Each structure stands twice: as C-alpha cells, then as structure tokens.
Structure 1
Amino acid sequence: MALVVAALGGCQSVASRDDFIPASDIRGTGDLGLVVERAAGSVLVVDTTQRSVLGRVEGLGDLSHASVVYSRDARYGYVFGRDGGLTKVDLLTRSIVNRVIQSGNSIGGAISQDGRYVAVSNYEPGGVKVFDSKTLDLVLNVPATYTRNDGEPDQSKTVGLVDAPGHQFVFSLFDAGEIWTLDMSGEDPEITRYKAGKAPYDALITPDGRYYIAGLFGEDGLSLLDLWNHEQGVTEILPNYGKGEQQLPVYKMPHLEGWAIADGRAFVPAVGHHQVLVADMEDWSLMDRIPVQGQPVFVMASPDNRQIWVSFAHPENDVVQVIDSRSREIIRTLEPGEAVLHMEFTPRGEEVWVSARDSNRVTVYSTRTLEPVATLSAKNPSGIFFTSRAHTLGL
C-alpha cells in the first residue's frame, strides 16, 4: 500500500511553484468576440458575459466590409478586410499575430472544417486564395477563370465562400454564374464546377452542411446545390417570387449568411422588395411573404428559433423588426440607432448585440423582454462576431 501512495504522490507533482499562474490571469475565450470599427480600421475585443469592452486592436486596414472567422480553440480571429488584408488577431493578448495583403479587394472568407486552412474570397483580381491558418503562408491559389460570352477568358469575382463538411470550401462566381466546390481533404485539391443562375451575389450553407444556397442578383429565384446529392447539379428554387412586381432600387444587397432557418422553414430576404420570404425546406416552395418596413439586409433567427430579427437597407436602416417564427407576425419594432449594420446573438440566445454605425454604439437587447440591457461605445461599429462561430458550419 505504501508503494501505491508514493506513486500517486509522484504523479501529482507535475508543476513547480515557478510554473504557477494566478487564476486571475487565466480565462477562456467562449464568451469573447470582436466588434469591427469600420472607419478606424480597428476591432474591439468584447466580453459577452460582462457586456464590456476588454480592449482595442488597431492597424487592420480598410474594414468597410469586414468579416471574421475563428480558430478551433476560439483564441484567434481571422479578419478579412476590404483592402485584401487577412489579419490574425489574438483575443487573449489583444494583438495582431500576423497580417498579409493577399489581393486588391476581398469580400470575406472561411476556415476549413479541421481548422487547418483559411480561405479568402476576392473581387480583385478574383478567385480564392487558401492560407495555412497557423502561419498565413499561401497554400493554394484558385483563379476562378471562365469563358465570357464573347469567347475570351476572364477571371470572376468570387462571393458566398463557406466551409462545408468533408474539408470542403464552396463559393460562387458572380461573373460566371457558377458554383464551385474545393475539396481540401487529399494531397491534391479537387475543384468541381456547377452551372448556377445569373449573377450570384452571396450565399449560405444550412446548419447541417447539406444545402448551399446562392442568391441571384440577375434574376428572381435562388440557386441550390445539394451537397449530399451533388451529382444532380444546381436546382432553381423560389423562381417566381417577384414575378409581376416592380422591383425597387436596391440600396444594399442582403447578406445571406444570416438567413434564418427555423422550424423547417427558411426565412429569406427578398431582393428589391419589402418582404421576408418563407420557404418550406421539404420542397423549397414559397409558403408566405411577410411584409416589412424596408428592404431586408439581415434576416437572422435566434438560437431557439422563436424569433426572426430583421435589419434594413438605407434609407430605413435605423430600425430592427422582430418576427415571431410561429405566427410570422411582427411583434416589435426597435430603434437601436442610426445606420444599423449588424446583429449577433450570444451563444445561447438570451441577448442580441446590434451595431449602429452613425450613433457610434452597440446596443444589447434581451431576447425575452425585447428591451435594451446595455450600451457600449464604439467607433462606427459594423460587424459583430462572437467566438461561438468557431464551432458552427458556414460562419
């Protein structure tokens, strides 16, 4: 017995007193996030438990259309800037780990299922570039070339880049009217091309990773790729939602990443209409049209799927409307400030953070009472990205 006790005692002495770290200096990242300050070229590191700002990281370039993905351990945020910058930010030290300028104009990105690769979608010169997530070294360049109607080769803007199961990336070619999959699972990456509708401008992937859906600027309807049955190619859904109606001038394209999936239904922003469309996900038929006060930009479901929060394009962009997903009726109109740009739910959905660019603030609302519970100052805030995204497909 004495030998057993001695052995156990030896196992316990794994750290010397010199290695001790005070508990006050240790924290997780599960309740952290980044708020983009678009005009200042900086991001705020925020704490969603305390509803507080921990610090600011500066020097990230042009963030006029910025987005963020996270490493698997949720310590590092990868910030995609409009100037082609890809910046790796450490949320714990609140510092820039690395930064590369990888193109002339980029429009978002994704991180692979296994966390090894970060891919960036580019407008100039077009195509997609894939980087090592640890070092930001270039791994692969995908030019996204196609043949124009006049027979000449060209390079397309790429949009709607998401990660997908099987270590894949999926993205759309705006100029070519195509959807491509990029399989990074083997030693040699594989690209598969699919013909899509006219001018896909953004896309989403459903939470289970099965359906990739691209919105179309050049026509009514949406392009759907079933990744479980990809041999069927791209199919068209909701083809006639705007038929016979005069489309309004489009001031800002909807952001489809935030499409709401709730109770077997998809809640979709209608391009050029003051409507949120409701589609049955069994057959992707149009079930309903919900009138709203302006052109929707974000249509986002709360984590419990009970509420649909809708933000709008200019000039009606100072309000947010909340829809009950069961009755499909508007239950509240909120006024978070001037030029609302983004919304983000806390991981379990008890609160939602809303940025108001021209009011220089982020307002935190309770999803139970629909009343504000906190306000944080920020320099022209836009995108809000919490680390819970690290464990969610397509975000």
Structure 2
Amino acid sequence: MKLRCLLEALLVAAALTGAARAEPDATKLFADNCAECHGADRLGRLGPALLPENLGRMMGARAGAVIADGRTATQMPGFAGKLAKDEIAALVAYISTPLPDIPVWGQHEIEASRVVHAQAEKLDRPRFDADPMNLFVVVEAGDHHATILDGDRFEPLTRFQTRFALHGGPKFTPDGRYVFFMSRDGWVSKYDLWTLTMLAEVRAGINARNIAISRDGKHIAVANYLPHTLVMLSTDDLSVEKIFDVKDKHGKSSRVSAVYQAPPRDSFIAALKDVGEIWEIATDPNAPPVYPGFVHSHEKGMIEALPSSQGLFALRRIEVPEPLDDFFFDPPYRNLIGSAREGRAIVVNLTVGRDVKQLDLPGLPHLGSGISWTWDGRRVMATPLLKEGKISVLDMQDWSEVKVIETPGPGFFMRSHENTPYAWTDSMMGAKKDTLSIIDKRSLEVVRSITPEPGKTAAHVEFDKSGRHALVSIWEDQGALVVYDAQTFTELKRLPMSRPSGKYNVWNKITFSDGTSH
C-alpha cells in the first residue's frame, strides 16, 4: 500500500513538472531575464524595444537564436545555458505579441529621453583633409555600426556604433555638416561629420518609420507607427517643437507611413497608413494662410491651420480615395505618385490638392526607390517592382507607361546620377539576388549584368559626387562594399563590411541629385 501511494505521488509530481515545463510563465521569464535591459513594458531601455513592430524580421527562429546565443558586437548575452528550449520559445511568443494598447509617448517622455554626448564646435572647415561633400555615410546593419567613408580615396575615416536597427536612411543638414540617424525604436541621433562626433540623441517615438529635414535645416519631422504621431524636433538641440496627434478630419487615428521634405514648397509631406489623407506641414514661418493656387475650403480639404491660419507647422489636409504610402515626387514637387492597394497607384496634384489619375501597376512598385531623368525630350520615372522582375517606366506628364524593362528578378533599389547615362538596379527580392542589371537611360535597355559575388545578395547602389564611381553593397553579415568604375563597370576596390544596407553620399543627398532617393 505504501509503495502504491509512493508511486502515485511520483506520477503526480512528474505530471505537474511536465505541465510546468510545457507552459512556462513568459511574463516572469521576461521580468527575470529581459526587463533590466529592454524595460518591463518592452518599450526598450539599454536594449531595443521588443515589440513585433520594432523587431521586423528578427522574430521567430531568428529571435530564438539571438536569445539562445546572444548577439555579437552588442551587450546581448546568450541564455542557452540558463533557459530551456521551451522557455526560449515562450519568450519568442511573448515578444511577438503586440501590446494591447497604444503606449503613451508624448513631450514629457521625449524630453526626458534626451542624451547630450558633446557640444558642437565652431569650425570653418572639417578636421580632416577629405572632401566633406564627397563623404559617404555607410549603415552597417549586421552589427549596428556606421562607417564614414572618404569618397575620393574610398578609405574609412571612422567607424562607430549606432542604435539598434537604423531605419529610413540618414538625413543631412543643407550645409552637409550634420547627419541625423533614426532607429526603428524611434531614436534620433545627431552626428557631426566635421569632427566625427556623436552630439546628441532623443527618442521621438516607440516605433518610427523615417525622418525628414526642412529645407532651411532647422526642423526634423519624425514619422511614427507607435504612437500615432508626427513629431517636429529642432535640429539645434533635438528639443520638441510640436507633436501632431495623427487623426483624419473624422477623428480616426492613423499610423504615419513616412514623411518627406518638399524643398520647393517649404514643407513636409506625410503619408498616413490608415486613413485617406495626405498631410502637408509648412516649414516656412512666413507661410501664407492659403497656399498659391489653393481654394480656401474645408469641404474640399484644402487647408487646416493649426494653431493659427498661417506660419510654421500649419497643417493642410489633402483627401485621397484610399490610404497611400511609398511616394515618389516629380522634380518641382507639383505631383506625387503613391502606392495604394497592391497593383494600383494614385497620382495626386499637390497644387490643386486632389488625385488626378489612378493607374494599374501590377507587381507592387517600390515607388520610394524610383528615379527620374529626361528621355526623348520628356521627363520619365522608373520604379522596380517588388514581385516581378520588371522595371516600369512612366511618362511624368500624363503618367502613361512608356516601357516595361525585364530584369532577372524582382528588385528593391534603383539608382543613377545626372553625370552617367546608366541606371543600376538589383534583383535582391528573387532567386537572382546576386545580379545587378545596368540600364541605358537613352535606349531603355539592359546593357550589362554584374555579379559582385555569386550567391550573395547584391543591392543598394550609390554614386559618388562626380558620378564616376558606383558603390554596391554585398548585403550579408560578412559582406562588403564594392567600388565600380561607372563607365567601364570594372571593379576597383572592395572593403569588408557587416551587411552594408545603405550608403549615402553627402553631395547627392543635399543637392537632391538625379538618381538618388530623397
């Protein structure tokens, strides 16, 4: 009898142990092992926010591997020796779950996050002899670093650690001295390219998409998914100037897909993810109450002034048939074309404030990576398609399709320069991810294919200031930056780098050079 009772007790204990192992307490596991660095609310602290919106591709098996093995070149340790496999799986599921409510991140939280690392110095010229207008800022996503590259010698000037998962591309002040980075966690960092010094950082959101800088270089706009805000910061000290709680005219809240600078208009243009509106925000303190050519009518959605009828940060709403994002602008910024639902694009005339054409573009165009040039006496734009191996070329006068150029596979980036007759595009979204296609902008034909390294992803071309050299990323953790002669297509130099996801030339960016993203 005693033996039977003992056996029953052991079986019950084993069952309870098995149940406990089958259902680990993820909340407690997170509090005990993760909260100190990532925050008890998962919004980030020393480490990044652990939310599905912020992690992007770092979820599922990849997140489990990082928890188990740690992450090189960071303070993230491995927990394989401390946590069982089912406990790691429970943590992965926990951080992959969205928060139940949109968290508060307003002026108080933003101001409290600001960190000042150094003060800007008064200088007449940089402290190095490289051409400051021909520098490249290279984002190395593999280990969260950035390299400042001399664009004449193709030699690094410095390399430094950045925030986790930079996103949306760095932006430069008009004089090219300061560059601003933004992380997916909403951190905005100000870096001095003349002294190679990080100056200050502030967290403007919890999940951010991109930033833009005003034409006068005084203001930064931050587009946020979490919370639903558009934040205006001063470029001088990263202080908060204004926060827009983003809602349409009916009060429906929306994420902000992206924000863009519109230099000829002295404004920002914001894409709203969840509502049928585009916002234009004045960056001219002397902006008139009604923009030239507009009808002053709330019914037509032409202008809404906040807080007064004119001046800095006045808001104008433009109603569109459906939410748009991934914009491309014509050079005068009179028109934009935006992606609607899959296979559809809508052209909006910003002068009259309404959509003027809808067109079918099957294959999901990546409009934000489009480029434009003059062809056969007219302005055309070209955009890669994310789901088909094609480049769509559009006439920017009537938005008709001029030609479809076949490529080895669906691509993500397309680049050129006003001083070269060629445009370069990748096929990184398909099986031929290692192949770049070079298109003659005069004939609209592919004239050369290049494979920097067989089997390795080749992407994101950027030209130097002169347009004589094209820099290509081998988009791998053990990757490289490859320098090509843009005329002969011969390789000149190769620099090892850790997943160089993007490279940005100072001159091309501040002059809005043809062929580069804006």
- Give me the TM-score of the superposition, normalised by structure 1: 0.83
Give 1:306's aligned residue: 421
Give 1:373's aligned residue: 492
The whole-number CA distance in structure 2 between the counterparts of 1:195 and 1:391 is 30
2:197 alignment partner, one of 78, 83, 95: 95
Q: Is the 8 A contact 1:277 1:288 kept in 2?
A: yes
Relative to 1, partners in 2 of residues 1:126 and 1:99: Cα closer, same or farther, differing over 3 Å?
A: same
Correspondence 1:228-377 to 2 at 5 A: 230-237=351-358, 239-242=359-362, 254=366, 256-263=368-375, 264-304=379-419, 306-315=421-430, 316-337=432-453, 338-358=456-476, 359-377=478-496
Give 2:325's aligned residue: 201
1:154 alignment partner, one of 253, 267, 283: 253
Relative to 1, partners in 2 of residues 1:58 and 1:360: Cα closer, same or farther, differing over 3 Å?
A: same
- Once the two structures are TM-superposed, the CA of residue 375 in structure 1 deviates from its matched residue by 1.0
The whole-number CA distance in structure 2 between the counterparts of 1:193 and 1:114 is 23
Q: Is the 8 A contact 2:233 2:239 kept in 1?
A: yes
Correspondence 1:68-147 to 2 at 5 A: 68-146=170-248
Relative to 1, partners in 2 of residues 1:24 and 1:275: Cα closer, same or farther, differing over 3 Å?
A: closer
Q: Which amino acid aligns with 2:271?
A: S
1:185 alignment partner, one of 281, 284, 292: 284
**Which consecutive residues of structure 2, in runs of 5 or more, have no partner in the other structure?**
1-123, 286-310
- Once the two structures are TM-superposed, the CA of residue 27 in structure 1 deviates from its matched residue by 5.3
Q: Percent identity?
A: 22
- Once the two structures are TM-superposed, the CA of residue 69 in structure 1 deviates from its matched residue by 0.9
Give 2:510's aligned residue: 390
Give 2:117's aligned residue: none
Give 2:305's aligned residue: none
Q: Is the 8 A contact 2:130 2:152 kept in 1?
A: no
Give the CA RMSD over aligned residues.
Answer: 2.6
**Partner SS, residue 392 of structure 1:** coil
Q: Is the 8 A contact 2:461 2:473 kept in 1?
A: yes
Q: Is the 8 A contact 2:256 2:270 kept in 1?
A: no
Q: Is the 8 A contact 1:160 1:214 kept in 2?
A: no
Q: Which amino acid aligns with 1:391?
A: T
More helix by share: 2
Q: Which has the higher contact order (CA 8 A, sep 6+)?
A: 1
The whole-number CA distance in structure 1 between the counterparts of 2:136 and 2:419 is 20
* 1:210 and 2:334 matched: yes
Q: Which amino acid aligns with 1:312?
A: S
Q: 1:219-276: CA deviations, max 9, x gaps?
A: 433222333xx22512234x1343xxxx5xx7xx736144333422111223532211
The whole-number CA distance in structure 1 between the counterparts of 2:229 and 2:355 is 20
Q: Is the 8 A contact 2:389 2:427 kept in 1?
A: no
2:139 alignment partner, one of 13, 18, 36: 36
Q: Is the 8 A contact 1:241 1:286 kept in 2?
A: no
Relative to 1, partners in 2 of residues 1:174 and 1:184: Cα closer, same or farther, differing over 3 Å?
A: same
- Once the two structures are TM-superposed, the CA of residue 342 in structure 1 deviates from its matched residue by 1.6
Tell me the matched-pair count.
Answer: 360
Q: Which amino acid aligns with 1:377?
A: P
The whole-number CA distance in structure 1 between the counterparts of 2:170 and 2:125 is 31
Q: Which amino acid aligns with 1:231?
A: V
Give 2:158's aligned residue: 55
- Give me the TM-score of the superposition, normalised by structure 2: 0.65
The whole-number CA distance in structure 2 between the counterparts of 1:286 and 1:23 is 46
More strand by share: 1
The whole-number CA distance in structure 2 between the counterparts of 1:130 and 1:165 is 19
**Which consecutive residues of structure 1, in runs of 5 or more, have no partner in the other structure?**
1-20
Q: Which amino acid aligns with 1:196?
A: V
Relative to 1, partners in 2 of residues 1:193 and 1:117: Cα closer, same or farther, differing over 3 Å?
A: same
Q: 1:193-230: CA deviations, max 9, x gaps?
A: 223354423112233333322223x1433222333xx2
- Once the two structures are TM-superposed, the CA of residue 318 in structure 1 deviates from its matched residue by 1.7
Relative to 1, partners in 2 of residues 1:271 and 1:176: Cα closer, same or farther, differing over 3 Å?
A: farther
The whole-number CA distance in structure 2 between the counterparts of 1:214 and 1:22 is 40
Q: Which amino acid aligns with 1:274?
A: G
**Partner SS, residue 472 of structure 2:** strand
Q: Which amino acid aligns with 2:372?
A: A
- Once the two structures are TM-superposed, the CA of residue 379 in structure 1 deviates from its matched residue by 1.5
Q: Is the 8 A contact 1:62 1:82 kept in 2?
A: yes
Between Structure 1 and Structure 2, whose CA radius of gyration is higher?
2
The whole-number CA distance in structure 1 between the counterparts of 2:149 and 2:133 is 11
Q: 1:66-87: CA deviations, max 9, x gaps?
A: 4111112211111121111111
The whole-number CA distance in structure 1 between the counterparts of 2:198 and 2:143 is 15
Q: Is the 8 A contact 2:345 2:360 kept in 1?
A: no
